[in-house]
Amino acid sequence: MPKFEFERGKMVPVPSHSIVPERDVNSVPVLEALHLGIDFGGLKAVDDFNLTIGKTEIAGLIGPNGAGKTTVFNLLTKVYAPTRGTILLNGNDTSGKSVSQVNRMGIARTFQNIRLFNTMTVEENVKVGLHNTKAYSTLSGILRAPSYWRREAEAHEKALELLSIFDMQDLANHQAGSLPYGAQRRLEIVRALATNPSLLLLDEPAAGMNPSETAELMENIVKIRDTFNIAIMLIEHDMSLVMNICEGICVLNFGRVIAKGTAEEIQNNDAVIEAYLGKQKEE
């Protein structure tokens, strides 16, 4: 695969033992997780998870199978209530908030096992994502008040505009469940973007994609970051994608952070190599 070219920011350390791109140092970080942890019964699925993500950073979360990556996403989006720790979203504490409330605070995600609204069309799926940005009351909907027509027209325009990021506007009237796998993954990203997030979490966006599709996805992820000026964090097993586009990478093993740094630092980190490949036998 050709090396993906794009402007990667210089990473600088911040107080919470993380690094953020230099351009983001002076803005409030989009996400700050402090001593985050959750127990399932006696098992510490995630423990003492600390991470800071800059306002426009593309961050990666990697680790062997079962390391707790998706659990971290579920904690950040409040699908699971954390046992310990604090999550700050754009500087605001999210404790006690529900999944839908933290979405409205600016965090949107996709799912490892795709969760689309299968009986709806592609356009309707995106319109569901626009639920809070193109709002009108239930009563105006029933009475077809002027605000209904105005907002629905806006939602239609916006949905097509968002779909055009992935060149999917022609699929608008197809049923979401009937789309090919790759298109379903892209639609999930569009739906998440429709909620106007400041942090987008992608759970294995390249799963099931071939190398050329993955290359296109990389381009699109960078494009999304540049157009919407948001932060993106992704879980991915495709190392070429992670090493090519992630500015800061966090490595998780057995629910604990074992390394944080840039792509070069991670590739040469002994703890990471050990986690993935095992310990080399002493000669």
Contact between 131 and another protein per CB under 8 A: yes
Least distance to another protein from the beta carbon of 175, Å? 10
Among 13, 66, 91, 141, binds another protein (CB under 8 A): 141
Q: With CB under 8 A as the contact rule, which of the stretches 14-22, 134-142, 235-243, 261-269 interacts with another protein?
A: 134-142
- Residue pair 229/27 in contact (Cβ under 8 Å)? The answer is no
Contact between 14 and another protein per CB under 8 A: no
Farthest CA pair distance, the chain = 79
Is the CB of 147 or the CB of 269 nearer to another protein? 147
- Residues 90-119 binding another protein (CB under 8 A) are 98-100, 103-104, 108-109, 111, 115-119
Contact between 69 and another protein per CB under 8 A: no
Backbone phi and psi for residue 14, each to the nearest 5 degrees, phi listed first: -120, 165
Q: How far apart are CA 137 and CA 145, in angstroms?
A: 10
- Residues 177-236 binding another protein (CB under 8 A) are 191-192, 194-195
- Residue pair 69/58 in contact (Cβ under 8 Å)? The answer is no
- CA atoms within a 13 Å half-sphere pointing along the CA-CB vector of 58: 25
Least distance to another protein from the beta carbon of 193, Å? 10
Least distance to another protein from the beta carbon of 80, Å? 12
Among 26, 138, 212, 280, binds another protein (CB under 8 A): 138
Contact between 136 and another protein per CB under 8 A: yes
* Residue keyed to tokens 């569901």: 128
Is the CB of 90 or the CB of 214 nearer to another protein? 90
Q: Which residues bind another protein (CB under 8 A)?
A: 77, 79, 98-100, 103-104, 108-109, 111, 115-120, 124, 127-129, 131-132, 134-136, 138, 141-144, 148, 151-152, 155, 191-192, 194-195
